[in-house]
């Protein structure tokens, strides 16, 4: 269930309450007249089945509630209520498959911010991956994959493509365009320092270690892994499954490839450099394509649900008019 706190101007309170009362997937409806002070208006509280949350919020948008008031969403983890059970049964589908698009947009907006924290994580992830490449340690490379924050902007590109939001696309591209060069530069400078200290052989090649050579040698499996990871990543985003997202981060080699670009450039190993560049470009492109495809399907299902909802309300409205 999703809890909604709605601040609505008094001239639209009756319409909002009527809408919520006639929606079978809504329960625990509370009306507080004149309770809101800034902006002034009435406060309406209710719980709605997750499957119908975005559909209902779209109705509230059509009434101009976000423009003149506000809608706050909160996920309900546990609730003991027969009314809530009836509301969930009234909604089509399964809660685990439901997408609350407003949550997706909020999580995406938060993860694509170009900040000092984002750039620090990119640099640290590439530094960890660099050591993993030097030592041939898959554990360090996996750790670097988890630390890397790059999936947020990639998911932002998917959302921007599906919802046609150029502002989100620009912010995502900016984060990627600045973040990856920062990480690559950190790996480059770190490799030069390690080489100067005698910790790394100047003739070192990542393809010489069977545990790390996949970073600089993309193949058909690289495409499949990126496609599956992109699809799983978007599903974890829309379903709010953070555990699945960790698995996605471990699956893709964007951070290790970026680190290897810096390592190979510092050592003048241009064969590894070209392979790592190809691996990074392939991963970024395929993840975005696969993620956009999955998100497009979910958006199509939502639009179909929205059309059915509008049609049912239209029929219900005509029946109510006939009854009066």
Question: From the CB of residue 167, how many other CB atoms can be counted at a distance below 10 Å?
Answer: 9
Q: Residue 72: is it exposed, middle or buried by C-beta count within 10 angstroms (0-12/13-18/19+)?
A: exposed
Q: What is the DSSP letter of 253?
A: -
CA end-to-end span of the chain, whole Å?
Answer: 33
Q: Are residues 60 and 113 in the same domain?
A: no
| Per-residue pLDDT at 241 | 63
Looking only at the bridges linking them, the beta strands covering 40-48 and 70-75 are unpaired
Asked whether residue 214 is domain-assigned, the answer is: yes
Asked whether residue 169 is domain-assigned, the answer is: yes
Classified as helix, coil or strand, 2 is strand
Asked whether residue 199 is domain-assigned, the answer is: yes
Q: Are residues 202 and 298 in the same domain?
A: yes
| Per-residue pLDDT at 246 | 62
Confirm if 284 and 154 have CB atoms less than 8 A apart. yes
Confirm if 236 and 121 have CB atoms less than 8 A apart. no
Domain boundary (64, 98, 132) is at 98
Rg over CA atoms, the chain: 25
| Per-residue pLDDT at 175 | 95
Asked whether residue 314 is domain-assigned, the answer is: no
247 contacts: CB under 8 Å, gap ≥ 6 = 232
Q: Are residues 131 and 222 in the same domain?
A: yes
CATH number at residue 8: 3.30.70
Q: Are residues 139 and 185 in the same domain?
A: yes
Domain boundary (63, 98, 133) is at 98
| Per-residue pLDDT at 250 | 67
Q: Dump the DSSP string for 89-133.
A: HHSSS-GGG---HHHHHHHHHHHT---HHHHHHHHHHHHHHHHHH
- Dig out the tokens for 235 from the structure: 């599903």
Can you tell me the distance from the alpha carbon of 44 to that of 25, in angstroms, rounded to the nearest whole number? Answer: 16
| Per-residue pLDDT at 16 | 95
| Per-residue pLDDT at 318 | 47
CA dihedral 198, 140, 287, 186 (to 10 degrees): -40
Asked whether residue 184 is domain-assigned, the answer is: yes
Question: From the CB of residue 169, how many other CB atoms can be counted at a distance below 10 Å?
Answer: 19
Give the predicted TM-score (pTM) of the model: 0.85
Q: Are residues 133 and 200 in the same domain?
A: yes
Pick from 46, 51, 4: which is nearest to 22 by CA? 46
**In total, how many domains does the chain have?**
2
Q: Are residues 156 and 92 in the same domain?
A: no
Can you tell me the distance from the alpha carbon of 280 to that of 248, in angstroms, rounded to the nearest whole number? Answer: 16
Asked whether residue 135 is domain-assigned, the answer is: yes
Q: Are residues 122 and 267 in the same domain?
A: yes
Domain that holds residue 129: 103-303
Scan for tokens 């898959």, then name that residue. Answer: 138
Can you tell me the distance from the alpha carbon of 12 to that of 59, in angstroms, rounded to the nearest whole number? Answer: 13
| Per-residue pLDDT at 314 | 56
Domain boundary (41, 72, 98) is at 98
| Per-residue pLDDT at 305 | 85
Q: Are residues 113 and 262 in the same domain?
A: yes
Q: Are residues 289 and 200 in the same domain?
A: yes
| Per-residue pLDDT at 313 | 65
Asked whether residue 195 is domain-assigned, the answer is: yes
| Per-residue pLDDT at 324 | 47
Asked whether residue 317 is domain-assigned, the answer is: no
Classified as helix, coil or strand, 241 is coil
Can you tell me the distance from the alpha carbon of 318 to that of 227, in angstroms, rounded to the nearest whole number? Answer: 47
Q: What is the DSSP letter of 212?
A: T
Q: Are residues 175 and 282 in the same domain?
A: yes
Q: Are residues 162 and 145 in the same domain?
A: yes
Q: In which residue ranges of the chain is pLDDT below 70?
A: 211, 240-251, 313-324
Confirm if 71 and 4 have CB atoms less than 8 A apart. yes
| Per-residue pLDDT at 210 | 72
Q: Are residues 184 and 291 in the same domain?
A: yes
């Amino acid at each position: 269930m999703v809890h909604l706190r709605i601040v609505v101007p008094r001239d639209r309170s009756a319409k909002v309450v009527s809408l919520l009362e006639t929606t079978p997937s809504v329960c625990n409806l509370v009306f507080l007249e004149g309770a809101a002070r800034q902006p002034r208006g009435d406060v309406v509280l209710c719980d709605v089945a997750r499957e119908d949350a975005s559909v209902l919020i779209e109705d509230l948008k059509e009434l101009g509630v976000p423009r003149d008031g506000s809608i706050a969403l909160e996920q309900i983890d546990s609730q003991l209520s027969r009314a809530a059970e009836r509301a969930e049964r009234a909604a089509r589908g399964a809660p685990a498959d439901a997408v609350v698009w407003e949550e997706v947009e909020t999580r995406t907006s938060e993860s694509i911010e170009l900040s000092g924290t984002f750039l620090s994580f990119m640099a640290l992830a590439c530094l960890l991956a660099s050591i993993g490449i030097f030592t041939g340690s898959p554990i360090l490379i996996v750790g670097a994959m988890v630390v890397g924050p790059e999936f947020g902007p990639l998911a932002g590109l998917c959302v921007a493509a599906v919802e046609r939001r150029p502002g989100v696309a620009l912010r995502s591209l900016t984060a990627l365009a600045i973040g990856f060069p920062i990480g690559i530069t950190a790996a480059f400078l770190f490799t030069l320092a390690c080489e100067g200290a005698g910790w790394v052989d100047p003739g070192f090649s990542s393809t010489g270690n069977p545990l790390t050579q996949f970073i600089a040698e993309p193949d058909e499996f690289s495409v499949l892994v990126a496609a599956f990871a992109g699809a799983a990543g978007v599903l974890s985003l829309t379903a709010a499954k953070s555990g699945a997202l960790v698995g996605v981060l471990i699956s893709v080699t964007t951070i290790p490839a970026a680190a290897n670009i810096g390592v190979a450039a510092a050592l003048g190993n241009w064969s590894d450099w070209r392979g790592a560049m190809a691996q990074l470009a392939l991963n970024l492109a395929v993840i975005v394509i696969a993620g956009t495809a999955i998100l497009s399907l979910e958006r199509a299902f939502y639009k179909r649900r929205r059309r059915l909802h509008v049609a049912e309300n239209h029929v219900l409205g005509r029946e109510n008019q006939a009854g009066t």
